[in-house]
Every structure is written in structure tokens, then in C-alpha cells.
Amino acid sequence: MRVSWLVSVALFLIAATGASSLTVTTSNPNVRVKENDDADLTCSYSADFGADPIVVWKFTNLKGSQIVSDLDNKPTTPYANRVTMYGSSLRFSKVTSKDNGVYDCEVANTNGQSGKVQVTMTALVPPSAPLCRIPTSVTTGRKVTLTCHDKVGSPPPKYKWFKNSVLLPPEPSKTTDFKNATYKLNTDNGDLVFPAATKMDSGQYFCEAFNDAGPPQRSKVMKMEVRDVNTGGIVAGVIVALLLVVLLVFGIWYAHKKGYLPSEFSTLH
């Protein structure tokens, strides 16, 4: 935290003089590398910065930000064993998906001239077999959601769904064979939603996760059956319950008439 604070203050003080930024560039603003391979993040600056400008690298992702190299042009502690500095550029060894994010190369000199360039790095990891959740039995008219998710793939995979081995189009209304379908498919998070399930939605389902890092992976096939509400069973259950109540009342009445009940119970009645 102290290193990060010192770097930020130093860069602010240098840039605070109001001088305009000069040119800072990179040879590759979008670095894509296979997992566990090495990667170079390049940064170069115009000669107007002078011979020894300050160069600092910062890393930012959804979890926050941290300093990669300090004011002495050396990797900070979290990167000491994995990052090598050469000039104003970085070399990562054995990149993983944890390194995914945006890297800022910030350059400043004592004359108040500053500038920066961004490099996005993505570790390429093929998806694994996705985990999907498919209910085996659904009542007609109920909303049902089938989920599909893979935690391994990088960049985050997209998803496809299949019913009875037939690919479900993401926008069914635009496909003749599916124009009457009511499902909603989110290819980004893998959710397949039926707002009101019908018997036509019964079938064998599986999902597929894919990205450009390797071959797609499929989940296990699972059967979903949509059934009507069992009104006959509900009616039968109600009738049985009523019969039990009637038998209970009759039993109490009969026992009372025959004098089988305790006197206290007879007094109460």
C-alpha cells in the first residue's frame, strides 16, 4: 500500500505543472497468450521525455488495482518472481487467468511531461465441461430456468443449448422452425428460460461452452419432462381427507354413545 501511495503522489506532482502529455505507445495493446506461456507487455515513449523518465506499470481488473513496477523500475513484491523489467517494458512468465486485466504504462519526467498507454492481457484457457442444472419434472405453466456455467475458460466462454441434439437458436422468433417457441436464451451467462413451460418443451437437454482458446465442451444430457397439474390426484387426496374426518367424528360419537369415553370427556360434551 505504501509503494502504491508513493508512486501515485510522485506521478501527480510531476504531472501537476500543467505541461501537455507526450507520446507513449505499445507495440501490442491487446496481448493474448496461452496459459502458462510467457508474455511481453511493451511500452515506449518519445525522446522528448528525456533520458531517464519515471516509468510505472499499474494493473487493474474487477477486483481492484495494484502497482506492478515501482519508481525504481523494479517489480513490486507480488510480481518479483514472475515479472522481469527490460527498459520500460514487462515480461511475464507463466501467465494465468489471474493476470487478466488492463495494464497502464505511465511515464513522467521532472519537467512535468507525462503520458500513458494501456495494454490488455488475456490468458487463453479452453473451457471445461460446464455444470448445468436441469429440472427433471416441471408443471405446465410454471417458469423454469436451465443453467449452464463454466468457471475455467478464459476469456469467459459463451454458451449454446441443444434439445434432442438440435441446436436452439438464440433468437427463436427469427427462425422458421422455432417461431412459436417462447424460451429466452442468454448466450453470455448460459441461462435458458421458459417463462411458461408447455409439454412441447419436454426433451433431452445439454449445453455447450465455447471460446476461442480451445475446443468447445459439452455438459451431460439430462431429460426434462413437463407435466400437467395432477387434478385427479388432488381431488382424490381431498376426498380421502374428508373421509378420514368423517370417520373420526363418527368414531367419537359412537364411543360416546357406548360409554367408552371417560366421564370427564362426557361432561365436556
Q: For Cα atoms 70, 73, 76, give the angle at the middle one, nearest 5 degrees.
A: 40
pLDDT for the residue numbered 5: 43
The domain ranges of the chain are: 2-124, 131-227, 231-268
According to CATH, what is the number of the domain 131-227?
A: 2.60.40.10
Question: How many Cβ atoms sit within 10 Å of the Cβ of residue 211?
Answer: 19
Q: Which CATH fold topology does 2-124 show?
A: Immunoglobulin-like (2.60.40)
Report the distance separating Cα 2 and Cα 15, nearest Å: 20
87 contacts: CB under 8 Å, gap ≥ 6: 44
Grid coordinates standing for 115?
Answer: 503520458
- Compute CA distances 86 → 6, 74, 100, 258, whole Å: 22, 10, 21, 104
Query: Do 131-227 and 2-124 have the same topology in CATH?
Result: yes
pLDDT for 252: 72
Residue 251 pLDDT:
67
Compute, in degrees rounded to 10, the torsion defined by CA atoms 173, 175, 178, 180.
Answer: 40
| Residues in contact with 214: Cβ distance below 8 Å, sequence separation at least 6, in sequence order | 124, 125, 126, 127
Cβ 129 vs Cβ 218: under 8 Å:
yes
Per-residue pLDDT of the chain (269 residues; tens, 9 = 90+): 444 444 454 444 444 444 454 899 999 999 999 999 999 999 999 988 888 899 999 999 989 999 999 888 899 999 999 999 999 999 999 999 999 999 999 999 888 888 999 999 999 999 999 999 999 999 999 999 999 999 999 999 999 999 999 999 999 999 998 988 999 999 999 999 999 999 999 999 999 999 999 999 999 999 999 998 755 555 556 566 666 766 776 667 666 666 666 655 445 44
**Rounded-to-integer distance, Cα 209 and Cα 42, Å:** 32
Contacts of 167 (CB under 8 A, 6+ apart): 160, 161
Burial class (CB in 10 A: 0-12, 13-18, 19+), 8: middle
